[in-house]
Structure 1
Amino acid sequence: MTKLIFKLQDLDNVTAVIQQYFEGLHQGDIKKLDAIFHAEAVLKAPGMRRTKSQWLDLVSSRQTPESQSADFNYRILSVDVVNHQAMVKLYCPLFEHHYIDFIGLLKEDGQWRIVNKMYDDL
């Protein structure tokens, strides 16, 4: 018999954070994104590292997919939740790119926050 290693509510809460992430990306809403990222989150791509504030500055300075009438085609590809940690694999089409994001989350003080984002273009 397998022990249940997460609560279904945690899975729901993680997917709600990811939905807010998708909406924030699509709308360029840095307040929405800021709320779901831990203050010390790091964003990483091959050959590139950014702090959360550097990334939010970039998001705020570019056009948004929504303003370009881009389709909302973001997808959760997989979710793993183990106790107070989660890893989510995402498909994020942004502009001419097709990113695969690996989003690491931790549940601290009762809230799920993104602590790490790794991504690369297909």
Structure 2
Amino acid sequence: MSALFQEVVPVLNTYFDGLYFSDTGRLRQVFHPRAQYVCASDGSLLYRTMDDYFPVVDARPAPASRNEPRRDRIVSIAFAGPVTAIATVTCAIGTRHFIDLLSLIKLDGRWQIISKVFHAEEQAA
């Protein structure tokens, strides 16, 4: 496992924990303040800033509070250079399954998510 890979994996694990526990404190650790949140799964554009996204997370019941099994997984991480990466990850909240494409940049010595573009769909429980 490359050193860059080993640097990014903990960021992704914190991201998964933030989603599972609906913990925006954890998510703020991994998202750049100017990151974007984008989806078009239903055929229309959903675009949020972090200021728009974090209140949504704060308002929803945490999967952990319902004892949902963890269904998060790192599918791949590709590096475009020493400070740029894209991670494909999957996770689920309730019956919604997500495939996330997370663009990461390394600034001031730490990796941060600068863009979350994802597809979501309902799946049987």
1:35 shift after superposition: 1.1
1:9 shift after superposition: 2.2
CA deviations 1:11-59 (Å, max 9, x no partner) are 1111110000000100011101011110100000011000012111000
| Matched residue, 2:77 | 79
Distance in 2, Cα, partners of 1:113 & 1:121: 22
Gaps of 5+ in 2: none
Normalising by structure 2, we get a TM-score of 0.89
Distance in 2, Cα, partners of 1:26 & 1:86: 23
| Matched residue, 2:64 | 66
The one of 23, 30, 42 equivalent to 2:24 is 30
Q: Give the AA of the match of 1:66.
A: A
Gaps of 5+ in 1: 1-6
CA deviations 1:70-121 (Å, max 9, x no partner) are 0011001111023210100011111111110000000111110000000111
Normalising by structure 1, we get a TM-score of 0.91
Aligned residues: 116
Distance in 2, Cα, partners of 1:8 & 1:75: 18
1:60 shift after superposition: 0.3
Q: Give the AA of the match of 2:75.
A: L
CA RMSD of aligned residues (A): 1.2
Give the secondary-structure state (helix, strand or coil) at the position aligned to 1:66: helix
1:17 aligns with 2:11: yes
1:62 shift after superposition: 0.5
Q: Return structure 1 stretches of 4+ with deviation > 3 angstroms.
A: none
1:57 aligns with 2:51: no
